[in-house]
Chains A and B, each alone.
Chain A
C-alpha cells in the first residue's frame, strides 16, 4: 500500500502544521465540524496518541502526537482522525434531525393516551382523537 502523504502537504495551507517535536496541529472549522463530533473522534484517539485541544477564532485546533513517535504513524492517524470526524459529524447531524421523531416515539410508548395519530402526526392537545364509544361498549359491555 502506498504511503499516505503528510497532511500538511496535502491539506489547504494552514489547515495542518507540523512542529519540531513531531506533533501535528489540525485546524478544524466549527461551522463544518461540531464540538461534539470533534470530541467523539478525539476520544477514539487518546489510547494511541497525545491530544490537546484549543479554540481559535471559529476553529478548534487539535494537536496530535503519536505515542510511538513515528512520523508515518502520525500521518496515518491524522488521516484516520479526519475520516472519523466526517463519520461522527454525520451521526451528530442525523441525531439532531431525528431528535423530534425519537422523542415522539418514546413519548407514545410511555403515554396512556395517543400522542400521535395513525398517520404519525402529533395529536394537538386541543383536538383529542375521537373516541369510538361503541367500540368501548363492545369491548367491555356494561351490564
Chain B
C-alpha cells in the first residue's frame, strides 16, 4: 500500500474543485506559518507547503492548509 495524497510532499489542486483566487488568499493567510510554493499547470496547481522553523508537525500544517483552501473554495462555490 502507498501513502495517500494527504501525505505527499507535492499536492495537486485541480481548478475545477479548488478555486485559484482562494488558493492565493490561503497562501496570503498562511504566510506567517509556512512558505507555500505554487507551480501552475494546465488546469491544476501543484503546491508544496514548507512550515516555518518551530512548527510542530509539517504534515499537519500542510493538511490544515489544504482544508483551508477547500473551505474557501466551497464557500465561494456555494455563494455563486
Contacts and interface: CB of A to CB of B under 8 A. Distances in A.
Interface of A: 18-21, 23, 25, 35-36, 39-40, 42-43, 46, 50-55, 60, 63, 65
A40 B78 CA distance: 8
B70 interface: yes
Contact of B6 (A39, A50, A60): A50
From DSSP, what is the main secondary structure of chain B's interface residues? helix
Could you say which of A21, A23, A50 has the most chain B C-beta atoms within 10 Å of its C-beta? A50
Interface residues of B, number: 24
A20 B5 CA distance: 11
Nearest to A61: B5
A55 B12 CA distance: 10
Given A19-B1, A19-B4, A36-B77, A54 B70 contact: no
B4 A21 contact: yes
Would you list the 3 A-B pairs with minimal beta carbon distance, nearest first? A23-B4, A19-B4, A50-B63
A104 B12 CA distance: 42
B16 A63 contact: no
A20 B71 CA distance: 26
Contact of B78 (A39, A53, A55, A65): A39
A23 B17 CA distance: 20
A55 B77 CA distance: 16
Contacts of B16: 35, 55
